[in-house]
C-alpha cells in the first residue's frame, strides 16, 4: 500500500471522521462494534456497524462496507483520488489546530497568573463556594482582566491574525474575555477551548467560537463505575471539592454526538444526571429527555433531585454538605 495512504488511515480513524460529521452511535453490538443509523441511505433501523479497532464499517441495510476512504467516496459521491485529497485537507486542518492548542495553553497559563493578582476574582470564586486552591490549580482556573492578553501573546511571537482566528481577540483587536473567570476545556490533555464566566454585568457565559470538545475532564472519570453528569463547570468544581471526583460536565444540557458516545462507552456504567432544578423546569425536562435517550441504548440512568431552585453549585453555597448530596444520589429517581 502507498505509505502516504497508510499514514492517512493511521492518523485519521474512521470513527473520528464519522463523529466529526455528526454520526451518532445508538448502541454497541455483541462484538463491541458501534451501531447506528446509516449515513449512506435513508435508514429507519440502526444497521450501520463500525469496528473502531479495525477502522472498518459495514451496513446491513444497503450492503456497503470498507475503510475510511471508501466511506468518503460513498458519502461525498466522489472518486478515490478526490476522497483522498479531501481527507488530507481535513487532516491538515487538524494539524493546524495543534498550533491553536499551544496558543490556548499559553493564554490559559497567562490567565492563571492573573487570578492570583486579582482579589476581586478570588472573592468571586469564594462566593461560588470554591475555596480549595488545590482544586483551583488542578482545574487550571484563571482570570481575564481584559486589555493585556494580546500584548503578552504577540510578545511571545504569536501573530494577531492567529489570535483572531482562534477567537482570543475580536475583529477590533480587543480581548474576547474581559472580567471573566476562565476555565480551560481539555481533550486528551490538550486545551481545545476556554470557558469564561463573567463576574460583572456582561452576559454570564462565553466560549471561543470553536469545538468545546468532549465531556469535561472525561479522561479522569471515564473508568469509574458510576459517573455524575452536571450542567456547569462550577457545579463540577464544588463537587470535586467535596470529594465527588467522578463528576463530569457537558457545559449545558444539550450533548454533542461525541459526548453522547462517551457516556455510552461502557455498558456497565451507572450515570447520575444532576441538572439544575429550574423554576421553568428546563433543567428537569432536559434531564428526563437525556435519560430516556440513554436508556434506549442500554445506559443505566438515575435523575438526581435537588431542592427547588438549586443546582449543585448553589446547593453547596447554601450550606449543603457532602453527606447531603450523597443522600440526593441515594434517592435519585429510576426511570
Quick one: what percent of the chain has pLDDT higher than 90? 59
Q: Please, what is the angle between helix 68-76 and helix 3-11, to 10°?
A: 80
pLDDT tens string 281-309: 888 999 999 999 898 888 899 999 999 99
Band of residue 94 on the pLDDT scale cut at 50, 70, 90: low
Work out whether strand 226-230 and strand 270-274 pair parallel, antiparallel, or are unpaired.
parallel
Angstrom distance (rounded) from CA 158 to CA 176: 16
Share the mean pLDDT of the chain: 90
The mean pLDDT value for 134-139 works out to 96
- Checking if the pLDDT of 9 tops 80, the result is no
What's the CATH class of domain 218-334?
alpha beta
- DSSP state for residue 13 in the 8-state scheme: -
Map out the domains of the chain as residue ranges: 3-77, 97-207, 218-334
CATH of domain 97-207: 3.90.980.10
Among 18-27, 42-51, 144-153, the least confident range: 18-27
Contact between 243 and 255 (Cβ < 8 Å):
no
Express each pLDDT in 187-196 by its tens digit: 878 898 999 9
Q: Does domain 3-77 have CATH number 3.90.580.10?
A: yes
Is residue 50 predicted with pLDDT exceeding 80? yes
Amino acid at each position: 500500500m502507498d505509505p502516504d495512504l497508510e499514514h492517512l488511515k493511521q492518523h485519521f480513524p474512521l470513527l473520528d471522521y464519522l463523529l466529526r460529521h455528526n454520526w451518532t452511535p445508538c448502541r454497541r453490538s455483541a462484538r463491541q462494534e458501534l451501531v447506528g443509523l446509516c449515513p449512506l441511505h435513508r435508514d429507519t433501523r440502526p444497521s450501520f456497524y463500525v469496528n473502531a479497532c479495525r477502522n472498518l464499517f459495514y451496513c446491513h441495510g444497503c450492503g456497503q462496507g470498507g475503510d475510511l476512504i471508501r466511506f468518503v467516496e460513498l458519502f461525498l459521491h466522489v472518486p478515490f483520488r478526490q476522497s483522498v485529497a479531501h481527507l488530507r485537507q481535513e487532516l491538515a486542518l487538524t494539524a493546524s489546530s495543534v498550533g491553536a492548542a499551544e496558543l490556548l495553553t499559553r493564554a490559559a497559563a497567562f490567565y492563571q497568573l492573573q487570578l492570583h493578582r486579582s482579589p476581586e476574582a478570588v472573592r468571586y470564586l469564594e462566593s461560588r463556594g470554591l475555596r480549595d486552591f488545590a482544586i483551583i490549580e488542578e482545574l487550571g482556573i484563571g482570570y481575564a482582566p481584559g486589555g493585556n492578553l494580546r500584548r503578552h501573546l504577540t510578545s511571545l511571537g504569536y501573530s494577531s491574525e492567529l489570535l483572531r482566528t482562534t477567537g482570543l481577540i475580536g475583529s477590533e483587536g480587543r480581548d474576547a474575555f474581559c472580567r471573566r473567570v476562565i476555565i480551560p476545556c481539555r481533550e486528551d490533555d490538550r486545551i481545545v477551548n476556554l470557558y469564561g464566566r463573567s463576574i460583572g454585568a456582561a452576559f454570564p457565559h462565553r466560549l471561543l467560537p470553536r469545538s468545546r470538545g468532549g465531556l469535561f475532564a472525561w479522561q479522569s472519570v471515564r473508568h469509574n463505575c458510576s459517573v455524575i453528569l452536571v450542567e456547569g463547570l462550577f457545579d463540577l468544581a464544588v463537587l470535586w471539592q467535596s470529594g465527588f471526583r467522578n463528576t463530569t460536565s457537558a457545559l449545558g444540557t444539550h450533548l454533542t454526538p461525541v459526548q453522547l458516545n462517551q457516556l455510552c462507552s461502557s455498558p456497565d456504567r451507572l450515570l447520575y444526571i444532576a441538572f439544575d432544578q429550574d423554576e421553568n423546569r428546563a433543567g428537569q425536562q432536559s434531564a428526563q429527555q437525556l435519560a430516556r435517550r440513554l436508556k434506549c441504548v442500554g445506559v443505566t440512568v438515575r435523575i438526581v433531585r435537588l431542592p427547588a431552585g438549586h443546582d449543585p453549585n448553589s446547593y453547596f453555597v447554601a450550606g449543603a454538605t457532602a453527606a447531603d448530596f450523597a443522600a440526593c444520589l441515594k434517592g435519585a429517581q429510576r426511570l
